[in-house]
């Protein structure tokens, strides 16, 4: 009797779930996000969560065109020193605070002045904000800034509720309030972050899940196993070596996009005493290292050919890639010649620090055996990432295997690394000509001028090689075959508009 009742209830329950839209979308992330405050945050996975939680002033297309999000239209003044923006008038924050020009002004102020804000350098060109109307705003810039719109397409452009931010201060991240399609529900550190649908979102119809749950699962095999067993609907950063298996599974679809970032070997050129060695002083050695490496073979061995070999801060499919300098073929003879010219015909040692995780170690071991054939004896010093970063920034290293997650605007991948005063120029490479070219590219809104500048800088940097670029990661998402409407973006974000779970 009770059993039939229960069966009946279960059947009814089943029917309702089928009738309505699938309730929960579960996404497995590679790691746990840090503090959920767009102004304080610094992790990649954090940005993935924000994509559904916090709308930005503008967004990008998969081809990196800037498109409207909270700002509907914008224009720069003739000299590029003023940016005027019109804003949506139907957007509202999760706490009911209306989104308007005042809110934008408050957000810029917070990003620039909150002591723990990590957005300061991204918005450093803004000297003043003028509210022109309820939904119109003007930014006054110290100088023309070609990167600004791209910054607005990322965390610096994320709008948080000024009311909530005011009330919470530094603790805003414990209960973030933005204006995105989903609002914050709960977070259990290292376990899950749950967002629920925000009914008042201006484009709510395009979002088809009641809740979105992000689960940090660091182990790639475990992540895939969870997808295969149906415990999650989508995983990010599928291991390249698992690609064949995922593609062979009928229940799984795979999407991918070459990332905006790079991986390479940064060589200490002039960062303290440790930069004063043949590797830092003689560019021929760095060139020899570059020639000794077979980048395509690295891609095949370590990543089953799923990534992209590279020799520049931008991947070869990027519009900013300088085609004048294609990925070089391996040339061991040339490498040996260069070593001999530099006075190291009998070989030379190089100590490279590497994060102590599988992929970087595997990568460096491949590089190690390639370089050995040219007479470069690489010794690998593996360090925990925290130590590696500290040593790198203190100049306590000879060479370091490290990468960059990449930015929408090309400036973000090169300026801070290669200019003399660059914030993360750990190589301490310094060349006035490169400074000038990169500053010029930063200030021009003319694409052709920028491209020319980058190419001219590349000509010098390819000679100097303070960073020997190796490859560009490909973002690989694996999705339950029942999910439709997902688009892969080169920024690695997961945008949920139009994503649906097929019924049945």
Applying CB under 8 A, the residues found at the interface with other proteins are 32, 34-35, 37, 40, 42-43, 115-118, 120-121, 170-171, 173-174, 188-191, 215-222, 224-226, 228-229, 231, 239, 241-242, 244-245, 297, 300-302, 356-359, 361-362, 365-366, 368-369, 380-387, 389-391, 393, 404-405, 423-424
Contacts of 140 by beta carbon, 8 Å cutoff, 6+ apart: 81, 82, 126, 127, 128, 129, 130
Cβ distance to other proteins smaller for residue 256 or 455: 256
Q: Least distance (Å) from other proteins to the CB of residue 401?
A: 13
Cβ distance to other proteins smaller for residue 115 or 250: 115
Cβ distance to other proteins smaller for residue 338 or 399: 399
Cβ distance to other proteins smaller for residue 181 or 403: 403
Q: Least distance (Å) from other proteins to the CB of residue 186?
A: 11
Q: Least distance (Å) from other proteins to the CB of residue 428?
A: 14
Q: Least distance (Å) from other proteins to the CB of residue 112?
A: 12
Cβ distance to other proteins smaller for residue 46 or 181: 46
Look at residues 430, 435, 472 and name the one whose alpha carbon lies nearest to residue 457: 435
List the beta bridge partners of residue 257.
Answer: 475
Cβ distance to other proteins smaller for residue 117 or 322: 117
Q: Least distance (Å) from other proteins to the CB of residue 280?
A: 21
Q: Taking the CB of residue 114, how many other CB atoms lie within 10 A of it?
A: 18
Buried b (16+ CB within 10 A) or exposed e, 86-104: bbbeebbbbeebebbbebb
Mind spelling out the 3-state secondary structure of 127-156? EEEEEEECCEEEEEECCCCCCHHHHHCCHH
**CB contact at 8 A, 380 and 408:** no
Cβ distance to other proteins smaller for residue 263 or 453: 263
Q: What are phi and psi of 12, to 5 degrees?
A: -60, -45
DSSP string, 84-109: EEEE-SS-B-TTSPBP-HHHHHHHHH
Cβ distance to other proteins smaller for residue 73 or 170: 170
Cβ distance to other proteins smaller for residue 1 or 188: 188
Q: What is the spatial distance between Cα 392 and Cα 427, in angstroms, rounded to a whole number?
A: 8
Contacts of 276 by beta carbon, 8 Å cutoff, 6+ apart: 270
Q: Least distance (Å) from other proteins to the CB of residue 105?
A: 22
Q: Taking the CB of residue 189, how many other CB atoms lie within 10 A of it?
A: 9
Alpha-carbon torsion angle 34, 37, 42, 44, nearest 10? 70
Q: Least distance (Å) from other proteins to the CB of residue 265?
A: 16
Cβ distance to other proteins smaller for residue 43 or 82: 43
The two structure tokens encoding residue 11: 């059947």
Q: Least distance (Å) from other proteins to the CB of residue 248?
A: 11
Q: Specify burial of residue 468 (Cβ count, 10 A radius: 0-12, 13-18, 19+).
A: buried
DSSP string, 347-377: -EEEEEEEESSHHHHHHHHHHHHHHHHHTEE
Look at residues 82, 62, 32, 58 and name the one whose alpha carbon lies nearest to residue 158: 58
Whole-angstrom CA distances from 253 to 29, 188, 226, 480 are: 17, 29, 14, 6
Cβ distance to other proteins smaller for residue 245 or 256: 245
Q: Least distance (Å) from other proteins to the CB of residue 392?
A: 10
The two structure tokens encoding residue 330: 């391996």
Q: Least distance (Å) from other proteins to the CB of residue 366?
A: 7
The two structure tokens encoding residue 309: 């070999």
Cβ distance to other proteins smaller for residue 231 or 433: 231
Q: Least distance (Å) from other proteins to the CB of residue 385?
A: 7
Residue entry with tokens 């967002």: 195
Q: How many CA atoms lie within 13 A of 168 on its CB side?
A: 18
Q: Least distance (Å) from other proteins to the CB of residue 120?
A: 6
**What's 319's DSSP letter?**
T
């Amino acid at each position: 009797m009770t059993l039939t009742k229960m069966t009946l209830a279960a059947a009814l329950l089943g029917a309702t779930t089928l009738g309505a839209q699938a309730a929960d979308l579960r996404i497995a992330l590679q790691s746990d996000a840090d503090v959920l405050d767009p102004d304080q945050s610094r992790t990649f996975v954090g940005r993935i969560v924000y994509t559904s939680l916090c709308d930005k002033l503008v967004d990008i297309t998969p081809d990196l065109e800037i498109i409207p999000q909270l700002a509907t239209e914008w224009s720069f003044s003739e000299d590029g020193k003023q940016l005027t923006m019109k804003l949506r008038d139907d957007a509202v924050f999760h706490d009911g605070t209306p989104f308007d020009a005042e809110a934008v002004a408050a957000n810029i102020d917070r990003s620039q002045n909150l002591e723990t804000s990590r957005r300061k350098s991204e918005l450093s060109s803004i000297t003043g904000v003028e509210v022109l109307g309820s939904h119109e705003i003007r930014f006054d810039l110290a100088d023309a800034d070609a990167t600004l719109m791209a910054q607005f397409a990322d965390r610096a452009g994320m709008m948080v509720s000024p009311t909530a931010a005011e009330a919470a201060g530094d603790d805003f991240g414990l209960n973030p309030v933005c204006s995105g399609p989903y609002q914050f529900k709960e977070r259990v550190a290292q376990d899950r972050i749950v967002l629920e649908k925000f009914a008042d979102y201006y484009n709510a119809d395009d979002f088809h899940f009641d809740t979105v749950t992000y689960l940090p699962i660091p182990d790639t095999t475990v992540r895939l196993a969870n997808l295969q067993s149906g415990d999650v609907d989508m995983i990010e950063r599928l291991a390249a070596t698992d690609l064949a298996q995922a593609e062979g599974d009928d229940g799984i679809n795979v999407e991918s996009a070459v990332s905006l970032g790079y991986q390479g070997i940064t060589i200490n050129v002039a960062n303290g005493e440790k930069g004063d060695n043949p590797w830092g002083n003689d560019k021929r050695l760095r060139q020899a290292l570059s020639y000794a490496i077979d980048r395509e073979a690295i891609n095949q061995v370590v990543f089953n050919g799923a990534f992209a070999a590279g020799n520049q801060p931008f991947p070869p499919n990027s519009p900013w890639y300088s085609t004048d300098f294609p990925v070089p073929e391996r040339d061991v003879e040339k490498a040996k010649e260069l070593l001999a010219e530099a006075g190291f015909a009998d070989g030379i040692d190089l100590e490279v620090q590497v994060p102590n995780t599988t992929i970087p170690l595997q990568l460096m071991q491949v590089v190690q055996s390639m370089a050995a054939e040219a007479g470069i004896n690489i010794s690998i010093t593996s360090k925990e990432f925290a130590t590696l970063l500290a040593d790198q920034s203190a100049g306590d290293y000879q060479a370091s295997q490290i990468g960059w997650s990449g930015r929408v605007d090309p400036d973000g991948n090169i300026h801070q690394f290669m200019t003399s005063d660059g914030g993360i120029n750990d190589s301490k490479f310094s060349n006035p000509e490169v400074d000038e070219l990169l500053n010029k590219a930063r200030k021009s809104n003319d694409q052709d001028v920028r491209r020319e500048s980058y190419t001219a800088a590349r000509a010098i940097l390819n000679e100097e090689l303070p960073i020997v670029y190796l490859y560009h990661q490909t973002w690989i998402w694996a999705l339950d075959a029942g999910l439709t409407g997902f688009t892969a973006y080169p920024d690695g974000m997961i945008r949920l508009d139009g994503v649906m779970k097929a019924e049945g």
